[in-house]
Amino acid sequence: MAKLKTRYICQTCGSAQSRWQGQCPDCAEWNTLAQEAAVLSTVFAAKHDLSAGGRPIDLVSLDVAVALPPRLASGIAEFDRAVGGGLVPGSATLIGGDPGIGKSTLLLQVAAHMANAGRSVIYLSGEEAADQVRLRALRLGLGGAPVRLAAATSVRDILTTLGHDEPPALLVIDSIQTMHSDLIEGAPGTVSQVRASAQELVRFAKDQGTALVLVGHVTKDGSIAGPRVLEHMVDTVLGFEGERSHQYRILRAVKNRFGGTDEIGVFAMEGSGLTQVPNPSALFLTQRGEAVSGTSVFPALEGTRPVLVEIQSLVVRLASGATPRRAAVGWDSGRLAMVLAVLEARCGMSFATSEVYLNVAGGYRLSDPAADLAVVAALVSALSERPIPGDSVVLGEVALSGEVRPVAHAALRLKEASKLGFERAWVPSGVDSESGIALTRFANLRALVDQILGR
Ligand code: TYD
Ligand code: MG
């Protein structure tokens, strides 16, 4: 027996509850449960009556040759790289990012490039008037691109309009939170509206072979607003990241049914829109002249792409007994506390009466433990006021024992460093030299400290 049941859906996390509560038991947000239209809930004990028939499903083997999905390349190499070689026709892509980070700018550029290449492209904005989008296109020097443009928020109107014509190769919806489906109640932006609107648009894209790109806003905690279900409904989820105060932006695939998630696209936001950054290391390394104490260079990896970043630290001795501050920008402060403790316990270097500041240049964020040794080098260099040689990069993970551990993809990182003119590298023991870079190997932190102090 099927019976009619009311559910309460959390507008933040999308979880379903059987009764209304002030606080969502799943995500602990307050006042987020809203009643959803009655749904048919089947009793779990129900069983199919197979005598009534059913259609047998064809089962196939895995080793049949399949054609790779064709790709719709935009010609913007950094974008195409991040999505795995271009958008796939009949697929849905969600791109999330903080407000003002440049999502609309990026998609307008992608849309214009594709339109200029002769594809039919429709760009629908629910956030800006058509004139505003047109003005932006003019400013980007893309005013002549044959993109078809409208300000629209009603999914019904959108689908009606699209139904009158050949389906476009690319459809951009900016943003899914402004869309409204009259199939269900609720204001635009609520979980049920976002889900219903997305569902209809995704169905259109799959049926018509259109590559659909949805813009999604990101909430305070960094997830795309609306329920997780939005991420399940699309084939590809991209994040557009960066600090608003800094120029660089990284386009990263979080999920990709048609490709890997380890490629990124790097852009810089400039007066004329987003420009591609084929050589990201140059962006994150400040102009390196004379070596100064307190800085080191770490060869980071973004997916399979090496990026050299500068780590800066400042150690200020306090005269009084005030509690010294520790602050880290672009690095985990828990990990900073850890390496400071290891330095104290294993090498007798005390920062107890000093304030310690750590900064990763260019607004870059590091979470790779391979950066430990470069952080330690910057800290010891700052404390001792002895610079790390300017032609060196530093990499290695630090264990609580004070041991320096090997890191993943050392060869790839060193190759990039060598390409950018670095001649020496401080590495964990066991790293082979094959990139023409002179290696100094360290088994433990004490050896690194001795090297910096010239002992
Ligand atoms: P936008 O694409 O509107 O961001 P989003 O859609 O993610 O909210 O980008 C807005 C910011 O980008 C805005 O603060 C101004 C800046 N910008 C430039 O610096 N140069 C440009 O050419 C453009 C179009 C925008
Ligand atoms: Mg926008």
Give the ligand whose atoms come closest to the C-alpha of residue 102: 1
423 against 202, higher pLDDT: 202
Q: Is the same domain home to 31 and 102?
A: no
Distance 307 CA to ligand 1 centre (A): 25
Instruction: Render pLDDT for 373-410 as a digit per residue (tens, 0 to 9).
Output: 999 999 999 999 999 998 899 999 999 999 999 999 99
Give me the percent of the chain exceeding a pLDDT of 90: 53
Neighbours of ion ligand 2 (CB under 5 A): 104
Report the nearest-CA residue for atom 8 of ligand 1. 100
Q: Residue 3: is its pLDDT beyond 70? A: no
Number of structural domains in the chain:
3
Q: Residue 420: is its pLDDT beyond 90? A: no
Mean pLDDT of 411-416: 87
Mean pLDDT of 356-364: 89
Q: Is residue 210 part of a domain?
A: yes
Ligand 1: residues with CB < 6 A are 97, 99-105, 136, 139-140, 269, 271-273
Q: Residue 1: is its pLDDT beyond 70? A: no
Q: What is the pLDDT of residue 278?
A: 82
Q: Is the same domain home to 237 and 266?
A: yes
Q: Is the same domain home to 362 and 222?
A: no
Per residue, the 3-state secondary structure of 387-416, as one string, reads: CCCCCEEECCEECCCCEEECCCCHHHHHHH
Q: Is the same domain home to 230 and 331?
A: no
Instruction: Render pLDDT for 22-52 as a digit per residue (tens, 0 to 9).
Output: 998 888 888 888 887 654 444 445 677 788 7
Report the nearest-CA residue for atom 15 of ligand 1. 100
Q: Is residue 385 part of a domain?
A: yes
* DSSP code for 361: G
**CA angle at 288 for the pair 286 and 291, rounded to the nearest 5°:** 125
Rounded to the nearest integer, the mean pLDDT of the chain is 87
Give me the percent of the chain exceeding a pLDDT of 70: 92
Q: Is the same domain home to 154 and 217?
A: yes
Last-in-domain residue among 262, 278, 294: 278
Instruction: Render pLDDT for 336-351 as a digit per residue (tens, 0 to 9).
Output: 999 999 999 999 999 9
Q: Is residue 63 part of a domain?
A: no
187 against 71, higher pLDDT: 71
* DSSP code for 64: S
Distances (CA, A) of 317 to 181, 246, 320, 324, 379: 61, 30, 9, 9, 13
Q: Is residue 307 part of a domain?
A: yes
55 against 281, higher pLDDT: 55
Q: Is residue 72 part of a domain?
A: no
Q: Is residue 58 part of a domain?
A: no
241 against 403, higher pLDDT: 403
Burial class of 166 by CB neighbour count within 10 A (0 to 12, 13 to 18, 19+)? exposed
The structure tokens listed for 60 are 């196939």
Report the nearest-CA residue for atom 11 of ligand 1. 100
Distances (CA, A) of 254 to 13, 82, 229, 432: 18, 10, 15, 33
Q: What is the pLDDT of residue 17?
A: 87
CATH of the domain at 342: 3.30.230.10
Q: Is the same domain home to 326 and 296?
A: yes
Report the nearest-CA residue for atom 21 of ligand 1. 273
Q: Is the same domain home to 267 and 325?
A: no
Instruction: Render pLDDT for 140-149 as a digit per residue (tens, 0 to 9).
Output: 999 999 999 9
Q: What is the pLDDT of residue 43?
A: 44
Mean pLDDT of 71-100: 92
Q: Is the same domain home to 86 and 37?
A: no
Q: Residue 2: is its pLDDT beyond 60? A: no
Q: Is the same domain home to 262 and 287?
A: no
Q: What is the pLDDT of residue 380?
A: 96
Q: Residue 82: is its pLDDT beyond 50? A: yes
Q: Is residue 57 part of a domain?
A: no
pLDDT-derived band at 335 (thresholds 50, 70, 90) equals very high
pLDDT-derived band at 10 (thresholds 50, 70, 90) equals confident
Instruction: Render pLDDT for 200-228 as a digit per residue (tens, 0 to 9).
Output: 999 999 999 999 999 998 765 656 665 56
pLDDT-derived band at 111 (thresholds 50, 70, 90) equals very high
Q: Is the same domain home to 239 and 290?
A: no
* DSSP code for 52: G
Mean pLDDT of 252-272: 85
Distance 194 CA to ligand 1 centre (A): 24
Q: Give the Cα separation of 152 and 360 in Å (integer).
A: 42
Q: Is the same domain home to 344 and 274?
A: no
Domain of 449?
Answer: 283-453
Q: Is the same domain home to 123 and 222?
A: yes
Which pTM does this prediction carry?
Answer: 0.73
Q: Is residue 53 part of a domain?
A: no
CATH of the domain at 240: 3.40.50.300
- Of 62, 121, 93, which Cα lies nearest the Cα of 259? 93
